[in-house]
Amino acid sequence: MADTLTDTAAPAPALRPRTARPATEPGWSVEESASLYSIRNWGKGFFDVNAAGHVVVRPTRNPGVEVDLYEVVAGMRERGFRTPLLIHFSDLLRQRLVDIADAFRGAIHEHGYQGSYQGVFPIKVNQQRRVVEEVRDAGKSLGFGLEAGSKPELLAVMGMTSDTPDRLIICNGFKEERYIEFTALAKKLGRNVIPVIENVTELKLILRFYEQHGVRPAIGVRVNLASQGAGRWRHSSGLKAKFGLSMNEVLEVLSILRQRGMEDCLQLLHCHMGSQIHDIRQVNQGVNELARVYSQLAKAGAGMRYLDVGGGLGIDYDGSQTSFEFSMNYTLQEYASNVVYKIMTVCDEEGVAHPTIVSESGRAMVAQQSVLIFDVLGANRLDRYVAPARLPEPPAGETELPRPLVDIFDVYRTISERRLVENYNDLLEDRDEALRLFSVGLMSLEHRALVDSIFWAACARIRDIARSMSRPPEELGDLETALSDTYFCNLSIFQSLPDIWAINQLFPIAPIHRLGERPTRKATIADLTCDSDGKIDRFVDDHDVKKWVELHDFADGEEYLLGAFLVGAYQETLGDLHNLFGDTHVAHVKIDEQGEWWIDEIIEGDAVRDVLSYVHYDLSRLFGEIRRECEKAVVNKQMTVAESQALLKAYEAGLSGYTYLETEGSR
Ligand SMILES: Cc1ncc(COP(=O)(O)O)c(C=O)c1O
């Protein structure tokens, strides 16, 4: 991020929608859009559609307090910031922390559990300063702590928690001397810091540095369970996991501590079963095993106080509430209830006091609070092709047209519902034959272009007939996908939604306006990068994953805005600079006491000069080169002095501009 621009204390002025379109259209309703995009399923009370056909965010789930996303974008434009734009909702983040704390407190009360609950936010899930501050502030009264997974993260956390020294700071990840020494120094400052041992060498360093600084450590161990999680991150646990101690090593840690009379220092048992756990059975199995280890350690004399179940609490990205990998077959309340109940049952059986339960549910805390808004720049529509009324005459000197051209035109003219599949197969065959003739030089470019037009026009006709049939032939299933439009959008998947590229992550995507109109197109999304992976071609569906999303038609130059939702976890820092597209602008939106929204903070996205300096360009050298070239061009009479000055000014302005496509008057 470049820098913070404004901290506007005043609410944003009231904003009007910019389109002159009617909000609704006969034969279609915003209700149908809400259902088409499954908004209420994945929205979980936080997202809905208003009567104007705009997506709204209800940060506290209170239907009377909502933020119209289209109005936020308009408000940002009035302040000179254009899309792509990331919008954070501080109150939604706060609400999620309250939800998680309430779910655990409710379960503790319901089961008569004797211990308490403390949430911990692993800052790697979203290290943006503003997000961590929000968690820190909102988490203060809820008793939430922070987790660092590296030395830089610990240094950030140390500098942000001076006013709440009793807050839990859990340190995971591989630790070298400096990292461990900083945990000792934090302890010396009075912080409730617990380094979690990932391998036995770390214990030796802890003993050395804590002794050196004259403080007694509180230590955790990360254990490798036999129970393996499920889904993409299942290898985070299990016997061959990258992290954690074997049972032998855990006992070795306890034995080393006991020899020094320090067994009371072993206070926390930790395990991370994997992220986005989609099946509750995995949680039950893992927690059961973890609670057994905890109890045995407590009985063996360790000073056990905390049982840390790690992260993994899922997000229902597709709203299906199933065990699909981007969904979850349990609710937050079920998760909390199962964790509390399992730990209680095992501890009671073993005769061990109930521990403070810690969870590091990063994704579940922050995923929903961010929405990425981007604009559509143009579309490639394959069904725009029209076939000619008749074929042209053969070229001069030839008696007939190439056979595949004549045949494909014949197929086009005789398409019928009864022979639809046969027609489609004939089309494919004729087109292949045309391509073959072209590749050996026996077909002209004009004839090849004509074959293409007839082919796509025929495909569109077959698709339209299939759509009108009550039971369209299965063989034509791929036709919708083949004919789907490509909507080119002002964003970089690699920068803003890297998990789509890296792990095929499914995020809900929907227009943020025009939801009172029927979407008539089916499209995939392509980003600005020169990379064929920079695309979105998997979308949320009611009971499956769709290869396209329904979108509205739009005229060239007309505004059309899409949103990618639930993007607050992992995306911002995992994003990269592919093609030098940088961080987007970020708006932090808050609700005031009257229930009105306002823009609390704008963090300006990267300018071109920022991204160039990240990859070590010397900007004054670049500018100097261009200046020299301009002077030479003036001497050689290629341009006037005035023209050279204008070029230099444009170059300088380009360096200060947004890395994404810009329009006049925008930043
Ligand atoms: C040790 C540890 N704790 C917590 C988390 C957060 O997991 P999640 O975001 O799935 O809750 C992770 C993520 O990988 C982790 O490695």
* 374 SS3 class: strand
pLDDT digits (tens, 9 = 90+) for 197-237: 998 999 999 999 999 999 999 999 999 998 765 566 666 66
pLDDT at 243: 75
pLDDT at 68: 98
Cβ(315) – ligand 1 distance below 6 Å: no
| Ligand 1 atom at minimal distance to the Cα of residue 361 | 11
Residue with tokens 């639809």: 420
Cβ(231) – ligand 1 distance below 6 Å: no
496 pLDDT above the threshold of 60: yes
Per-residue pLDDT band for 412 (boundaries 50, 70, 90) equals very high
pLDDT digits (tens, 9 = 90+) for 377-393: 999 998 899 999 999 99
**Residue with CA at minimum distance from ligand 1 atom 7:** 311
Cβ(310) – ligand 1 distance below 6 Å: yes
Compute CA 151 distance to the chain's CA centroid, rounded to the nearest angstrom.
25
Per-residue pLDDT band for 368 (boundaries 50, 70, 90) equals very high
Per-residue pLDDT band for 10 (boundaries 50, 70, 90) equals very low
667 pLDDT above the threshold of 60: no
| Ligand 1 atom at minimal distance to the Cα of residue 233 | 14
Cβ(120) – ligand 1 distance below 6 Å: no
The CATH class given to the 382-480 domain equals: mainly alpha
pLDDT at 544: 87
Quick one: tokens of 662? 């810009």
Per-residue pLDDT band for 549 (boundaries 50, 70, 90) equals very high
Report the separation in Å between the CA atom of 271 and the middle of ligand 1, taken as the mean of its atom positions: 10
**Residue with CA at minimum distance from ligand 1 atom 12:** 311
CATH architecture of 113-360: Alpha-Beta Barrel (3.20)
Max CA distance (Å), the chain: 103
CA–CA distances in Å: residue 46 to residues 32, 191, 382: 18, 35, 36
Cβ(91) – ligand 1 distance below 6 Å: no
pLDDT at 166: 85
Give me the torsion for CA of 76, 123, 45, 69, rounded to 10°.
10
Q: How far apart are CA 348 and CA 360, in angstroms?
A: 24
Burial (CB count <10 Å: 0-12, 13-18, 19+), residue 618: exposed
Please name the residue ranges forming H helices in 440-505.
445-468, 477-483, 493-496, 498-503
| Ligand 1 atom at minimal distance to the Cα of residue 312 | 10
DSSP 576-626: --GGG--PPEEEEEEE-TTS-EEEEEEE---BHHHHHHHTT--HHHHHHHH
List CB contacts of 49: < 8 A, sequence separation 6 or more. Answer: 30, 31, 33, 34, 39, 55, 56, 515
Report the separation in Å between the CA atom of 277 and the middle of ligand 1, taken as the mean of its atom positions: 11
Q: How far apart are CA 226 and CA 435, in angstroms?
A: 56
Strand ranges inside 103-258, DSSP E? 117-122, 145-148, 168-171, 192-197, 219-222
**Residue with CA at minimum distance from ligand 1 atom 14:** 275
CB 319 within 8 A of CB 565: no
CB 402 within 8 A of CB 447: yes
Q: How far apart are CA 658 and CA 82, in angstroms?
A: 9
Average per-residue pLDDT in the chain? 93
| Ligand 1 atom at minimal distance to the Cα of residue 122 | 4
CB 560 within 8 A of CB 357: no
- Which DSSP category does 171 fall into? E
286 pLDDT above the threshold of 50: yes
- Helix or strand run (H / E) with residue 183: helix 177-188
CA–CA distances in Å: residue 510 to residues 295, 446, 529, 629, 658: 48, 39, 21, 47, 25
Per-residue pLDDT band for 14 (boundaries 50, 70, 90) equals very low
Q: How far apart are CA 79 and CA 286, in angstroms?
A: 50
Strand partners, 630: none
Percentage with pLDDT > 70 across the chain: 94
Cβ(274) – ligand 1 distance below 6 Å: no
pLDDT at 196: 98
pLDDT at 226: 86
Report the separation in Å between the CA atom of 273 and the middle of ligand 1, taken as the mean of its atom positions: 8
Cβ(328) – ligand 1 distance below 6 Å: no
CB 578 within 8 A of CB 497: no
pLDDT digits (tens, 9 = 90+) for 342-361: 999 999 999 999 999 999 99
Report the separation in Å between the CA atom of 508 and the middle of ligand 1, taken as the mean of its atom positions: 22
The arithmetic mean of pLDDT across residues 294-319, rounded, is 97
458: left (phi over 0), alpha (psi -120 to 50) or beta: alpha
- Per-residue exposure over 282-294, b if at least 16 CB sit within 10 Å of its own CB, e if not: bbbbbbbbbbebb
The arithmetic mean of pLDDT across residues 271-289, rounded, is 95
CB 171 within 8 A of CB 206: no
Delimit the domains of the chain by residue range.
113-360, 382-480, 619-656
Q: How far apart are CA 51 and CA 37, in angstroms?
A: 16
Cβ(529) – ligand 1 distance below 6 Å: no
CA–CA distances in Å: residue 24 to residues 31, 172, 516: 11, 52, 4
Per-residue pLDDT band for 242 (boundaries 50, 70, 90) equals low
Quick one: tokens of 386? 């029209």
pLDDT digits (tens, 9 = 90+) for 41-100: 999 999 999 999 999 999 999 999 999 999 999 999 999 999 999 999 999 999 999 999
pLDDT at 20: 56
Cβ(220) – ligand 1 distance below 6 Å: no
**Residue with CA at minimum distance from ligand 1 atom 4:** 311
* 535 SS3 class: strand
Report the separation in Å between the CA atom of 236 and the middle of ligand 1, taken as the mean of its atom positions: 9
Amino acid at 288: N
552 pLDDT above the threshold of 50: yes
Helix axes 332-350, 90-111, angle to 10 degrees: 40
Length in residues, the chain: 667
Cβ(363) – ligand 1 distance below 6 Å: yes
